[in-house]
Structure 1
C-alpha cells in the first residue's frame, strides 16, 4: 500500500513516515527543505520537494497513492490547510476510494470541566474556527480525523513549554491557568503507533474522528516534578492570566480531561510509553540535549513564556 505524507519533515510527519516504512508501506514524503530530502532518502522514504501550496508539484503523486496523511501544522498562515484541502477534494473526485487522514487537535474542544470525548461540542474561537471548518470539509469526503493532545518525547515538541517554564527561574514558576489545570499528553512514539493502527483499520474508520491521548496530567504537579528533578524543590508557582495579544496563552489555559476510550474500542489503542510525570529524568535529558531554539515550535514557546 502506498502512502503520501504531507509535512514529512515535521515532528509528527517525520516520525509517522518512519513508522509506516518500518511496517512495510511505500511512503512518499512531501518536504520543502532541501536538507530533509537526503534524510528521507536515507530512511527509504521517497521525497517530493515542494511547498505544499505548490499543488501541481505533488498532486500527480496524490492521485497514485492509496492513503494521504496531512500532518502540516501551519500556525501562521491559516489559508494553507484550505489550499491543501481544495487539492485533496480534486483527488477525491478522481479517485473516490482514496483514504484521507487529517491531523487536527483537541483545541477545538476548548476548556471543559467535564470529561471531553469526541461527542463534546466544539467551541467557537478565532484560533479554532478555521480548523473546525477544515474538519467539516474533510468529513464530507469521509476522511479520518485524528486529534492529538500535547506531544512529548524526544525534544518534547510543545511540551517544551513546561520544561522551559519550570527551569527558567531559580525561585518561581510562572505559568498560565490555575492550580487545578489538567491537560492531555501523548508521547510521539505512541502517536506513531496510533497512526499505524488507524492506517491498518482505515477502511473501517472512514468518517471517524478520534482523540489521540494517553494521559491527563495536572500541570501543577508536572512543573513541580521538573523543578524538583533539576534541584529546585522549593519553588513556588505564580498563575498568570492569559494575554489578549497571544491566543496561545489561552490554549495553555484550556482545562482538558480527555478520554481515548473510543480509540481503544475501535483500533485497540493503549499507551506504551511512561507518562511525563513518571519519568522526568528520561524526558528532561532528551529535551535538554535535543532542544533547538531555531525551530518553529521553540520560537513559538519563547513568545508565550511569561
Structure 2
C-alpha cells in the first residue's frame, strides 16, 4: 500500500496569493513561476498537492495539473487560529488535517517584512492542525541566490562559487528578503515546524519567467540592426565575462522534492540549500547563442561607447550583467539531486519556441512578468 503524503504550496499557480489593490505594481508578489513548477514536481513524485490561490477562476490552472486548489488570501499578521482570515482552510481540512511539507513560493517586492509575517501566520496555523493530528511539517522556504550579492567575472583570480557558507551581501532591494527568510528558523517557529531555506537562481523554460525578457529583447535588437542595414553588430557596455547561473524551472522544482523526501530530516533542518545549475554560463556565450538564433548581423560587440551604454540599460542589465556563480554541491551531496536539463544557451532554440507558444496562448506568467518588468524599470 502506498503511503499518501500531503504538501501545501503557496504561489502554486504562478500568481500572487495576495489580492492586487489600487496600488497596482506596489503590491505585486513574485516567485509564483517557481511555485507552479514545484507543485508539478510534487505531483510527479506521487504527492497529494494542495495549492493556495486567490481567484476562483484560476482553479482550472491547478486542476489540469492534478493539484487541488484552496481558494483564500494570506491572513493578517498574527491572526488567531479561529480568525475569519483563516476560515478558508476548512476547504483543506475537509480533505486532510495533516501536512508532511509546506512550501512557501511567494515574495513581496515592496514590503517583505509584512509578507513574511502573513505567511508565517498561515504556516503556523497549518502546522498546529497537522501537529494535533500527529504529523510535524517540514517548511521549505524560498529566498534566492541574490542573497549573496555579486560574483567577480570569469578569469578573476580566486573566482569561486557562492556556497551556503558564503557571506550574505544582498543588494538593498532584496535585503529584507535575505534577513527575514532566516527568521523561519526562529524558536517561535520551531515550536510548530521544521524548516529549510532554499536559494534558487533565475529560472527558465516553458513561459521562461524573466528570461522571457531576453527573448523579447533579442528580437528587438535583431530588428533594429537589420533596419540599420549595418554589419557592425550591436554594441553593449557589458563585460562579456559576466558569470550567469540560471537553471531550468523543472530542475529547480525537483530540488524541492529531493529535500522533502530526504529520509533523515535531521540532516537538512535549520539549514540553507542552494539549488543551482551544474555549470555557469557567461554573457558572451549567451549572446553568441542569441545572435545565431535571431540572425543578428555582426552579433554583439562589447565596447564602452555612449551608444553601448544606452543599449545596456533597463531590466535586461539585471539579467545579463549580474555576475554570479551559484554553487550547489551541498544539495547534490546530501540528497543526490542533480539538474538534467540543458543550460539556456545550449538549448536556446527550444526554449525560444516554448516561450513564443506561451505568449501566443496568453499564458498568465507572461503577463505577470510584463508587469514586474515595469516595476523593475521604475525602481531599479
Cα deviation for residue 147 of structure 1 reads: 0.9
TM-score using structure 1 length: 0.87
2:371 corresponds to which residue?
A: 299
1:208-223 aligned within 5 A? 208-214=271-277, 215-223=279-287
2:138 corresponds to which residue?
A: 99
Runs (5+) with no aligned partner, structure 2? 15-32, 77-84, 153-159, 226-232, 302-307
1:277 corresponds to which residue?
A: 345
CA, structure 1 residues 272+234, in 2 after alignment: closer, same or farther (shift >3 Å)? same
CA, structure 1 residues 267+239, in 2 after alignment: closer, same or farther (shift >3 Å)? farther
Distance 1:187 1:146 in 2: 16
CA, structure 1 residues 289+25, in 2 after alignment: closer, same or farther (shift >3 Å)? same
CA, structure 1 residues 205+173, in 2 after alignment: closer, same or farther (shift >3 Å)? farther
Contact 1:112 1:255 in 2 (8 A): yes
Work out whether 1:112 is the aligned partner of 2:151.
yes
Once the two structures are superposed, residues 160-186 of structure 1 have per-residue CA deviations (whole angstroms, 9 ceiling, x without a partner) of 232223221232657674222112111
Work out whether 1:84 is the aligned partner of 2:123.
no
2:300 corresponds to which residue?
A: 236
Cα deviation for residue 149 of structure 1 reads: 0.7
2:304 corresponds to which residue?
A: none
Contact 1:4 1:28 in 2 (8 A): yes
Distance 1:225 1:139 in 2: 42
2:42 to 6, 20, 33: 20
Work out whether 1:6 is the aligned partner of 2:6.
no
Higher strand share: 1
Cα deviation for residue 110 of structure 1 reads: 0.8
Distance 1:232 1:33 in 2: 42
Contact 1:167 1:227 in 2 (8 A): no
Distance 2:310 2:136 in 1: 49
Contact 2:164 2:272 in 1 (8 A): yes
Look up the SS of the partner of 1:115 in the other structure: coil
Q: RMSD of the alignment, in Å?
A: 3.0
1:183 corresponds to which residue?
A: 244
CA, structure 1 residues 212+241, in 2 after alignment: closer, same or farther (shift >3 Å)? farther
Larger of the two Rg values belongs to structure: 2
Contact 1:92 1:98 in 2 (8 A): yes
1:56 to 86, 91, 105: 86
CA, structure 1 residues 135+240, in 2 after alignment: closer, same or farther (shift >3 Å)? farther
Greater shift in the superposed pair: 168-177 or 38-47: 168-177
Cα deviation for residue 77 of structure 1 reads: 4.3
Look up the SS of the partner of 1:83 in the other structure: helix
Greater shift in the superposed pair: 185-194 or 30-39: 30-39
1:39-50 aligned within 5 A? 39-50=61-72
Distance 2:343 2:202 in 1: 12
CA, structure 1 residues 59+252, in 2 after alignment: closer, same or farther (shift >3 Å)? farther
CA, structure 1 residues 12+59, in 2 after alignment: closer, same or farther (shift >3 Å)? same
Aligned residues: 304
CA, structure 1 residues 72+87, in 2 after alignment: closer, same or farther (shift >3 Å)? same
Distance 1:108 1:130 in 2: 10
